[in-house]
Structure 1
Amino acid sequence: MNKNKSPNLASTLNTSIDRRRFLSGSLATGAALGAGSLMSGNVMAMSPQKGGTLRVGFTQGATSDSTDPATFNNDFMFTYAYGVFNNLTEIAPDGSLVPELAQSWQATPDAKTWTFNLRHGIQFHNGKELNSQDVIASINHHRGEKSKSSAKPLLADIASIKAVDTYTVEIQLTGGNADFPFIFSQYNLVIHPSNGNGIDTSSMNGTGAYKVKRFEPGVGALYQRNENYWKEGRAHLDEIEIILISDPAARLNALTTGEVDLIDRPDLKTLHLLKRRKGLRVEQTTGTKHYTLPMLSDVAPYNDNNVRQALKYAIDRQEMVDKILKGYGVVGNDHPIGPAMPFFNNELKQREYDADKSRFYLKKAGLNKLDIKLNLADSAWGNDTVNAGVLFSETSAKAGINIEVVREPNDGYWSNVWLKKPFCASYWGGRPTADWMFTTAYADGVSWNESRWSHEKFNQLLVSARSELNQERRREMYFDMQSMVHDEGSTIIPMFGNYVIAMNDKVQHGQIASNWDLDGLRFMERWWVS
């Protein structure tokens, strides 16, 4: 990768999905997100080995973490979900959608009725056999009137759900959704056993590769292999220990001293030193992760799109990639659809730093200057978020925009700042489809619409594109939606970052998924130690 110059998003080719196969095939093939893992060949070539313990130094996790799947909001809990439980569907390392607890599915031609056929003989850790009622209870847990689950808007189109028989579930939608099976690969839509009145949210009884031996929110967790795991060629490790180490220097030190074998989100400023250490290596994956600066669109001055445009032109994206990501990423274009995703708009002109144009929009808003606060904590982007804010303040000052960077505590940032302060920072692991990403964070009124942006035409197109089966028409709709977010949205997206991890040479794996960090956060069942 060229660290000196980040590729323009618009230079990347668009991809498409074969919907006919997706709707009718027993093994549904989704859109490949683009295998982007950069690693040494011997890692890919080694055969999995059984046994051993993997110790992982993790960035995210909080004392407030709950085992209620409706509340999952960080990588510590996502890992718990994928390690202890299973989903109906799974995103494979090559980016395709494959069966997990559902061995197959079918849809009517209008994509409004979906039938999921469950595997037979799958057992929860306590010996109970999986059935249709478990699936229905797990899905309905997120659909309740009082539910605040991030999955709720993804399930809003469900009109009815019923058990056809012990191993068959039928879901009727209010409108067609060509991507519907993708939704069930989400971390909080894992399947719990039904207790006859829903699910027990405190239960750690899953069908997954690992059982919980110790679970301490804000501290860590210890997992032990499920010896009766139903997937062949998975669950190689005897035990996996997750240790929460939020400080990047301490996390790196834990790796270099041998306290842990693997760390996520290493400090990019020190990677050049890490690469010199014998027995350690750094790997990166190009995927969907992006960094955002959301502005609450219903709060002045951000309720004026001219102000939002002025801020979008006042940030030097390339400088951010070079100095904050150290070249481990590409410039963003103020919409969340990454170049590896289906329907990426490769025709949209890349927005670049332009102080004169920023001043132009400021004057259109009736302002000669602008004084604002940007509330940041380093935990918002994982590393160097506050320094990124300082860089932004320096470039924006040339356009007459004075940004006061307010450093917030790392602890409590996501509950006290994000979604509450008018201008802050966030990041997204991204989603495998455009509909999923837009529905989660840009649709009107959804709980994770971090800028409270509301756009009537965008919301109409979002619903229409979801049920559109003509590929060319669907492409046009998603291109239009990306343009709307780019031109009128209330979120600055300066960068797409690579997923970067560091580990010792004992840690081994095959092809890495690019839909999330750490192999789509499924490293627990896919990786092994030599």
Structure 2
Amino acid sequence: MTSHNRRRTRLITSLALSASLLGLAACSSGVSAAQSGSAVSDPKTGGNLRVGIVGGSAKDTLDAHAPVTHPDQARAIQLYDTLATYDDQRGIQMALADSVTPSADARTWTVHLRPGLKFSDGKPITAEDVIFTFRRITDPAAPMAGATSLTTLQRDAIQASDPSTVVLSVSAPNSMFPDTIAQYTFGIVPVGYDPKNPVSSGPFALETFTPGQQSVFARNPHYWRTGQPLLDKVTIIDFPDDTARVNALLGGQVDAIDQLPLGQVNIVKANPSMKVLESTTGSWTPFTMRVDQAPFDDPKVREAFRLIVDRKQMVEQVLGGHGTIGNDMYAPLDKCFPSDVPQRGQDIEKAKQLLAEAGKSNLSVDLVTSPVAAGLVEAAQVFAQQAKAAGVNVNVKKVDPGEFYGDQYLQWTFAQDFWFTRDYLSQASASGFKTSPYNETHWNDADWSALVAKAQATTDEAARCSLIAEAHKIEFERGGYIIWGFPNSVDAHSAMVQGFTPDKSGIPLTSFGFRNVWLNK
């Protein structure tokens, strides 16, 4: 992005809120040098960018507030802009809003919209649309993906002080509100929104959509960023199969792909007509153990399984070295991440001891995996091999993405998943509470929940970080995740595609909605 300092948005607050709040800034409408990456041409308009995205199934959705798979998320980012957003360094900037201002006690947040905003159908984007969006997300009868992040929101008290200004109140101080509304699950939709026939607030508008196959988007003629998007169209194609996705890129059927299989990196790099886009991120692909079902309802079994993992081997063999070692704690890019926790290593003898104490020696378990993200299936296979040394028989059960994210999703006893970069409190809201929409491990720990709730309401950064560190350590000791590493995001594209940039989000290929990308033909 262009310099924050030239366009810093003023936040009025008497509290020492976090530096991220004080750094909120209005986004530039132009393409920056950083975002254009290694581009060698001036930005050009026109053309259809064809992108192969990993995963997808007949259950694909266009719903702004309920994305699950990679293609779902890619579609949401094309169609719906949020009030705030992130730059490529995970700094928060303004988007549809030009200011988000806290009250002195952080119990009231005032959102002011940019002037002249319109949806893709030409209708103005107003405060009423923002109110409708937040009430839809937090509907108690049908809470959406972001609802847990706003449990303290007084949804019936949201009001518009004028057509461009929304005032939101929370029952407890919420210093993380800007981070929450910057998540892609908070896209602004119009009053009366129909997810099957969506109207767009983002850079592109829907043209066609075939679940499990592809979706086509046309430039939103009313998009608020001057000169963007540059492309006429974007076509997103589902590719559950890695080989087919890479072959489509090499054969010219698509112009870019996400999640380049790591074994193909050198092959693509050797091709002068191709480029590899690699980003260090906080993304993670955990093993998920249901803490409410045997054998993982015993903390000793969960600890044993964490001790089975040779994390260095995982990163080297599964990721080909394109990543960093994990320590069973997520959100490594959060400034409150407790880096002082000793690194957990493989300890087969201790694992055996714990399993014996739990009465689970010679244990046999099913591990459900699916090619929904790069490296998941390979990680399952490597873990199964490592587990043999501890006398654990792991039966790897590979299912297709449709089944993985079908009726059994969130019900598997032992499985995997993928997450993009998030700060700790946002991630905790999404996956850690009993009421979280993606509580894969069925984690329901009263001590942990109380700490996180207190952290969410704490505006002093040092005090908040102390609470987050305590919460991290509880999950480290008895949580349901095995977090063995943090994969780099490795994508690939034709050299004629320009404007991509590395970014810490975990989804650099799609995080800016392709609005900065152009074709150098």
So what's the TM-score if we normalise by structure 2?
0.90
- With over 3 angstroms needed to count, the CA separation of the structure-2 counterparts of 1:52 and 1:247, relative to structure 1, is same
- With over 3 angstroms needed to count, the CA separation of the structure-2 counterparts of 1:60 and 1:373, relative to structure 1, is closer
Contact 2:23/2:92 (<8 A) preserved: no
Contact 1:375/1:417 (<8 A) preserved: no
- State the Cα distance separating 1:398 from its structure 2 match: 1.3
SS class of match (2:337): coil
- With over 3 angstroms needed to count, the CA separation of the structure-2 counterparts of 1:167 and 1:40, relative to structure 1, is closer
- State the Cα distance separating 1:146 from its structure 2 match: 2.1
Q: What amino acid is the match of 1:424?
A: A
Within 5 Å, which residues of 2 pair with 1:181-260? 181-195=178-192, 199-260=193-254
What count of residue pairs does the alignment treat as equivalent? 498
Aligned to 1:377: 370
Contact 2:45/2:518 (<8 A) preserved: yes
Q: Tell me, yes or no, if structure 1 residue 478 matches structure 2 residue 468.
A: yes
Within 5 Å, which residues of 2 pair with 1:6-405? 19=17, 27=25, 42-43=38-39, 46-159=41-154, 160-195=157-192, 199-338=193-332, 340-379=333-372, 381-383=373-375, 385-405=376-396
Q: What are the superposed Cα offsets for residues 161-186 of structure 1, whole Å, 9 maximum, x if unpaired?
A: 11111111000001111110221122
Segment drifting more, 310-319 vs 444-453: 444-453
Q: What are the superposed Cα offsets for residues 276-317 of structure 1, whole Å, 9 maximum, x if unpaired?
A: 112112121011210111111110111110000011001111
Q: What amino acid is the match of 2:183?
A: Q
- State the Cα distance separating 1:441 from its structure 2 match: 0.8
- State the Cα distance separating 1:68 from its structure 2 match: 2.8
Contact 1:23/1:106 (<8 A) preserved: no
- Give the one of 444, 457, 468 matched to 1:467: 457
- Give the one of 396, 401, 426 matched to 1:436: 426
SS class of match (2:366): strand
- State the Cα distance separating 1:510 from its structure 2 match: 5.4
Q: What are the superposed Cα offsets for residues 250-290 of structure 1, whole Å, 9 maximum, x if unpaired?
A: 11111111111101112211222222112112121011210
Q: Tell me, yes or no, if structure 1 residue 490 matches structure 2 residue 488.
A: no
- The CA distance in 1 between the partners of 2:367 and 2:187, in whole Å, is 36
Q: What are the superposed Cα offsets for residues 26-72 of structure 1, whole Å, 9 maximum, x if unpaired?
A: 7389xxxxxxx9x99733x6542222221111113222223333332
Q: Tell me, yes or no, if structure 1 residue 419 matches structure 2 residue 410.
A: yes
- With over 3 angstroms needed to count, the CA separation of the structure-2 counterparts of 1:103 and 1:271, relative to structure 1, is same
Q: What are the superposed Cα offsets for residues 416-475 of structure 1, whole Å, 9 maximum, x if unpaired?
A: 4431121011111131x2110111111233221100012111111101111212222111
- Give the one of 487, 512, 519 matched to 2:502: 512
- Give the one of 456, 470, 475 matched to 2:446: 456
- The CA distance in 2 between the partners of 1:409 and 1:210, in whole Å, is 30
- The CA distance in 2 between the partners of 1:455 and 1:208, in whole Å, is 38
**4+ residue stretches of structure 1 with deviation over 4 A?**
20-26
- With over 3 angstroms needed to count, the CA separation of the structure-2 counterparts of 1:305 and 1:505, relative to structure 1, is same
Contact 2:369/2:398 (<8 A) preserved: yes
- State the Cα distance separating 1:366 from its structure 2 match: 3.3
Aligned to 1:522: 512
- The CA distance in 1 between the partners of 2:393 and 2:406, in whole Å, is 27
Contact 2:60/2:72 (<8 A) preserved: yes
Q: What are the superposed Cα offsets for residues 213-238 of structure 1, whole Å, 9 maximum, x if unpaired?
A: 22222111122212332202430112
- With over 3 angstroms needed to count, the CA separation of the structure-2 counterparts of 1:398 and 1:243, relative to structure 1, is same
- The CA distance in 1 between the partners of 2:300 and 2:174, in whole Å, is 35
Contact 2:20/2:91 (<8 A) preserved: no
Q: What amino acid is the match of 2:79?
A: V
- With over 3 angstroms needed to count, the CA separation of the structure-2 counterparts of 1:66 and 1:273, relative to structure 1, is closer
Q: What amino acid is the match of 1:414?
A: Y
- The CA distance in 2 between the partners of 1:184 and 1:471, in whole Å, is 19
- The CA distance in 2 between the partners of 1:227 and 1:407, in whole Å, is 43
SS class of match (2:185): coil
- State the Cα distance separating 1:523 from its structure 2 match: 4.0
Contact 2:410/2:440 (<8 A) preserved: yes
Q: Tell me, yes or no, if structure 1 residue 500 matches structure 2 residue 494.
A: no
Q: What amino acid is the match of 2:164?
A: Y
Contact 1:22/1:28 (<8 A) preserved: no
Contact 1:393/1:402 (<8 A) preserved: yes
- State the Cα distance separating 1:512 from its structure 2 match: 3.4
**Please, which runs of 5 or more residues in structure 1 have no aligned partner?**
1-16, 30-36
So what's the TM-score if we normalise by structure 1?
0.89
Aligned to 2:437: 447
SS class of match (2:125): coil
Segment drifting more, 156-165 vs 70-79: 70-79
- State the Cα distance separating 1:209 from its structure 2 match: 1.6
- The CA distance in 1 between the partners of 2:24 and 2:38, in whole Å, is 34
- State the Cα distance separating 1:368 from its structure 2 match: 3.2
Contact 1:84/1:211 (<8 A) preserved: yes
- The CA distance in 2 between the partners of 1:437 and 1:178, in whole Å, is 15
Aligned-pair identity in percent equals 26
- The CA distance in 1 between the partners of 2:219 and 2:322, in whole Å, is 34
- The CA distance in 2 between the partners of 1:64 and 1:209, in whole Å, is 24
Q: What amino acid is the match of 1:194?
A: V
Contact 1:70/1:148 (<8 A) preserved: no
Q: What are the superposed Cα offsets for residues 384-410 of structure 1, whole Å, 9 maximum, x if unpaired?
A: x33322321222221222222222233
